Amino acid sequence: MATFGVLAEFKSPADLYRACERVRDAGYTRWDAHSPFPVHGLEGAMGMKRSKLPWIILVMALGGAATGFLLQTWVHSMAYPLTISGKPHFAWPAYVPITFELGVLGGALAAVFGMFGLNQLPRHHHPLFESARFARFSDDAFFISIEAVDPMFDAAAASKLLHGAGASHVEIVEDLP
């Protein structure tokens, strides 16, 4: 079976943080850190770029708001205009609540489903789940995985680097068949 990569376990967030800096500095690009909770500052330690999600959210929020405003304007000024409580047909102040709410909905849906999309979730099958020790990532253990598809990858060199960075356990993980 092909190798998926190397998985190293660490005992604390501090250990994980320092190890990530080493892996980043060594020049790896296809690798990841795993923790039961987000470790503060780890994006910097991993050399990650800022997420693009805020832009997606902004566009969808504005889109939602625009949809709401245009729908109401069209309904009350063009589709079936009615004079209600003596106000003009284009009663824009009264359109504000729904416009705002739809903007928020657009933003929220973008945040959640955009996040799922960018994370490529759901993905129920992943080589790392085959590792018995990995199950503790959701409890109190911290991991780094370096994938075999990384251009620099060499199982022995990666293991050595991770041991040197303070890993308490290193294992090779096989890919899914």
Of 6, 7, 61, 173, which one interacts with other proteins (CB under 8 A)? Answer: 61
Of 25, 27, 70, 119, which one interacts with other proteins (CB under 8 A)? Answer: 119
Provide the Cα torsion 123, 125, 128, 132; round to 10°.
130
Of 8, 35, 165, 173, which one interacts with other proteins (CB under 8 A)? Answer: 35
- Decide: 110 and 62 in contact? Cβ < 8 Å: no
User: Which residue number, 77 or 160, has a Cβ lying nearer to other proteins?
Assistant: 77
**Site pattern 65..84 for other proteins (x: CB under 8 A):** ------xx--xx--xx-x-x
What span, in angstroms and rounded, lies between the C-alpha atoms of 87 and 103? 25
User: Which residue number, 40 or 160, has a Cβ lying nearer to other proteins?
Assistant: 40
Task: Return the bridge partners of 174, or none.
Answer: 3
CB of residue 80 to other proteins, shortest distance in Å: 6
Q: How far is CA 100 from CA 61, 64, 114, in A?
A: 9, 8, 20
By CB under 8 A, tell whether 91 contacts other proteins: yes
